[in-house]
Structure 1
Amino acid sequence: MRHASVIKQELAALGAETEVGFRAGPAATARIRELAAELEGMNPTPEPARAASLLRGRWRLLYSNFELQRRTTLAQLSTRLLPADPVEVVELYNEVDPRTGIYDNVINILFDDGTPGMVVMCGRYEAEDDQTIDIRYSDALLIGPGAPVRIPSTTARVSSLRTEVTYLDDGFRLVRGAYGSLYVLERLDPSPMLWSRDS
């Protein structure tokens, strides 16, 4: 059996090669799926959804198969809470703070004129069991020209998303969501960012 570090290195390399999944062809997608399954069989954390010290922090998305698009709109990035202005996705992050239940998705973007910005989907999570977490996104925060702008979702639009943490160590995480989605993330910092919504 190969060492987990070797598999993680290959996953990270494939994530970079496919531009976080934006340019993933069939061969790369199949290889990533194979590597993820192999790594999940080595999961060192028996209760990953409850492992607060390991979940906590700022995570960078290395790969996702969830139909990501480099060129998109603010509306598509925010479950239609923000306007349909065209933007380009630069990088994606996940901020997790088990103490407060924060589970934010942070997307660095470029507007058409080259101005940088950021979309934060503000969420909260709870552990449903040892491996599954339930996430609810309630607000969209836009940081950019004329911003920050915060737009809350109506109660009717706050849907529950169940995801399974299938691999977790002190620097690497695999998450599986609905419709066969796979997310590969690396931890950049054990401390998450603090957003103005929580100040």
Structure 2
Amino acid sequence: MTAHCSAQKHDLLAAIAACSQPWQPQPAEADRILRAIAELEAINPTPEPTTATALLEGDWKLLFTTSLELLGIDRLPLLALGEIWQCLRLSDRRVVNLAEVQSLLGTGLVSVAAQFEVVSDRRLEVSFQRLVLGLERFLGYRNVATWVERLGQDQRIWTGIDFPVQPGNRRGWIELTYLDQDLRINRGNEGSVFVLQRPGTGQSA
């Protein structure tokens, strides 16, 4: 990675870390982050990210998003978003999105499992298949990796709500606009942007 790219990456992570509320940044904070995202996308070190399987594989923690669908949860009374993850399994073309939700009843988990197809050197087409939600203590949730493995076994989970996604809501796409060993930026079909980091790489937001 070039020194210029490292500096732009540092600026983005610093802008995210400076937010007063991670999922509800002030307008000036959001503008600074979005400018830093665009600058980093312009110097993407991985021009064909869908072919970089070693970089894509794994569990990615969401640092910032403009997704109204996700951020709407944080604005509901008595609910607050916790950690959010996107987990990619390239061998069987699976993607699992996980969101922790804090409530008066305890920590809940909302998870969506999907299959994806590579449709270009930057784009994954996603077909949503399954929604599972419930309280973590009833679901037996321990950590991200074991939960993704459990969903991959395709067995119904009776201690939570587990049902297929309706056909009309099944498809979407992910445009990979920046990728390196520990940072990924996606843009989605609804116009949202997502900044994700692979934990345990010595980087910090």
Give the TM-score normalised by structure 2: 0.76
Match of 1:101 among 78, 93, 96: 93
1:126 aligns with 2:108: no
Equivalent residues in 2 for 1:2-21, closer than 5 Å: 3-18=4-19, 19-20=21-22
Between the aligned partners of 1:158 and 1:51, the Cα distance in structure 2 is 28
**2:128 aligned residue:** 137
- CA distance in 2: counterparts of 1:41 and 1:123, whole angstroms: 29
Deviation at 1:160, TM superposition (A): 1.1
> Could you tell me whether the CA contact under 8 Å between 2:111 and 2:132 is conserved in 1?
yes
Question: How far off its partner does 1:6 sit?
Answer: 2.2
- Asked whether the 8 Å contact 1:59–1:189 carries over to 2, the reply is no
Q: How many residue pairs align between the two structures? A: 176
1:28 alignment partner AA: E
The match for 1:76 is none
Partner of 1:88: 80
- Secondary structure of 1:108's aligned partner: strand
Change (3 A) 1:128 1:180: same
1:64 maps to 65
The equivalent of 2:197 in structure 1 is 186
Distance 1:2 1:50 in 2: 24
- When residues 131 and 118 of structure 1 are mapped into structure 2, their CA distance, relative to the original with a 3 A threshold, is same
Q: Which residue of 2 aligns with 1:39?
A: 40
Cα distance, 1:2 vs structure 2: 6.2
Instruction: Give yes or no for contact 2:63–2:197 (8 Å, CA) kept in 1.
Output: yes
> Once structures 1 and 2 are overlaid, which stretch shifts more, 45-54 or 55-64?
45-54
Give the gaps of 5 or more residues in structure 2: 140-158
The SS at the match of 2:128 is strand
Match of 1:171 among 160, 168, 182: 182
Greater mean deviation of Cα atoms: 164-173 or 26-35: 26-35
AA matched with 1:130: D
Secondary structure in structure 2 of the residue aligned to 1:99: coil
Q: Name the CA distance, whole Å, in 1 between partners of 2:75 and 2:30.
A: 20
Find the counterpart in structure 2 of residue 111 from structure 1. 103
Distance in 1 between residues matched to 2:126 and 2:51, nearest whole Å: 14
User: What is the CA distance between 1:150 and its match in structure 2?
Assistant: 4.6
* 1:33 Cα offset (Å): 1.8
TM-score (norm 1): 0.78
- Percent of aligned positions with the same letter in both sequences? 28
Query: Secondary structure of the residue that 1:42 maps to in structure 2?
Result: coil
Gap regions ≥5 residues in structure 1: 74-85, 191-199
Q: Secondary structure at the match of 2:10?
A: helix
Say whether the 8 Å CA contact 1:58–1:189 is kept in structure 2: no
Amino acid in the other structure paired with 1:165: L
